[in-house]
Chains A and B, each alone.
Chain A
């Protein structure tokens, strides 16, 4: 065990891990975070808090993580390199660790083009891979990226995202290799609907032994409706939703579509359990956190190991 992260404990003990996601509010409303996190209590080994997702201003991931920590739960600090330079990021990591946050995810972040402040200056002082290197350097060498020693260096269990469905496909295993080389302890993938493509990616990952160097958590997002399926298929870059999934959702009357979406999510988890190298699941039920308990239970992942 390198850190005090609950996620690391669960994975190290050989269990399938479960993480879930929480989006902070678009205002200074802590109750919203507390409500969502409370729904997940006992059902996840770590709770991701997104960082100005889709470049829309929300309460900072760090602040929301602190609220979650104060509830005795395990937040996962998501940090994008779009909005902060290396000083601010290292500074926030120190603050997070000081508040008892032990797990984080390094991302580049969606371009501001999509968000509510397209006029903002982008930072991108570092990219996600350089941030991974920075976090590992802080933890393992006890030094800031600039070289100076850190007082009580933060020991973060650090992860990154992977998208087997983005282009070009032939690079997606190599990019994972780079993130592993940069020091990722765990990976959370983009949500999976195209199981065939995911399994192809995993085959490439296993061929290089990467599944033994990093813990891969498969991303799962339940569909709420056929409309959502279509939207994700056509409007979201880097998302792969096969026609069969859209058809299946649309083939059911509207009032039953949400149930069908949950069914598909549970079936996906069951199928992925059998894929060698999948070490757990990252359930992103955005604005639908109340369904996570049902999914975790029906997928046979409840109760969570108490370590």
Chain B
């Protein structure tokens, strides 16, 4: 899922300081799974914001709502009944959701309450790590199911580099060397020969380098 972490309170408070009434919108999908912007986190942030303002002798009215997703217009539409009762919106969704809410409600300032980080998977509850960079031309089929674009610090397609140490990346003992993982997996699958096949220079056009991307599925329209 898309992972995120809550922004520092100082930053969020700066965003809401000009306003008296805000709509705090959570999302029931990715940010719920990584405990950054779901229903629970909305309640917690709401409490924190109100307390912070009460301490300054001000009041902040916080309307709380958690949508199923914020990246689909049908769900964002549910905010229409609330929007006239508030001066600004704070979204706890990933950047996609924040932008969709902003797009729909053009005359309300919309602020992000989380920093969107990466597409990743859960190692266990509470620990998530990066898995996919959305390069648009998936090569997991030839790297034993481990992605060097997302998981190698240098996104080498013919790694490992000379800094790989004890299965860990040179930048930190907390980061696995993706190519060690790939090699171990290839061995497990009896595919050692694949290692010496050179993976040629990547065509980054399918990635963000080719410009912001769009999918149009006419069969679904």
Chain A contacts to B: CB under 8 angstroms: 82, 86, 108-111, 113-114, 122, 124-130, 133-134, 145, 161-163, 166-168, 171, 174-175, 177-178, 181-182, 190, 237-238
Contact = CB atoms under 8 A, between A and B. Distances in A.
Contacts of A190: 162
19 contacts: A111-B170, A113-B170, A113-B171, A114-B170, A114-B171, A124-B155, A125-B204, A126-B201, A127-B154, A127-B159, A129-B157, A129-B198, A134-B201, A166-B160, A167-B160, A174-B196, A178-B195, A178-B196, A181-B198
Given A82-B154, A124-B155, A130-B158, A166 B165 contact: yes
B164 A167 contact: yes
A243 B164 CA distance: 21
Contact of B201 (A133, A166, A168): A133
Nearest to B149: A124
Contact of A133 (B165, B172, B198): B198
Interface in B117-153: 153
B180 A111 contact: no
B183 A237 contact: no
A130 B154 contact: no
B166 A124 contact: no
Given A108-B154, A128-B158, A129-B158, 12 more contacts: A108-B156, A108-B161, A111-B170, A113-B172, A124-B156, A130-B157, A130-B198, A130-B200, A167-B167, A168-B167, A237-B165, A238-B163
Given A163-B162, A168-B180, A130 B201 contact: yes
Interface of B: 153-167, 170-172, 177, 180, 183, 195-196, 198-202, 204
B201 A110 contact: no
Given A124-B154, A166-B164, A168-B180, A238 B170 contact: yes
A129 B195 CA distance: 13
Contacts of A182: 158, 198
Contacts of A175: 160
- The majority secondary structure among interface residues of chain B is loop
A293 B204 CA distance: 46
Nearest to A175: B160
A205 B172 CA distance: 30
Give the residue among B154, B170, B198 with the most A Cβ atoms within 10 A: B154
Given A110-B163, A113-B171, A237-B170, A86 B156 contact: no
Nearest to A165: B162
Contacts of B162: 161-163, 166, 190, 238
Contacts of B167: 167-168
Nearest to A177: B196
Contacts of A86: 201
A82 B158 CA distance: 14
Contacts of A127: 154-159
A168 B164 contact: yes
Nearest to B166: A167
A122 B157 contact: no
Contacts of A177: 196
Nearest to B157: A127
A162 B195 CA distance: 17
Nearest to A131: B201
A174 B195 CA distance: 8
A125 B159 CA distance: 14
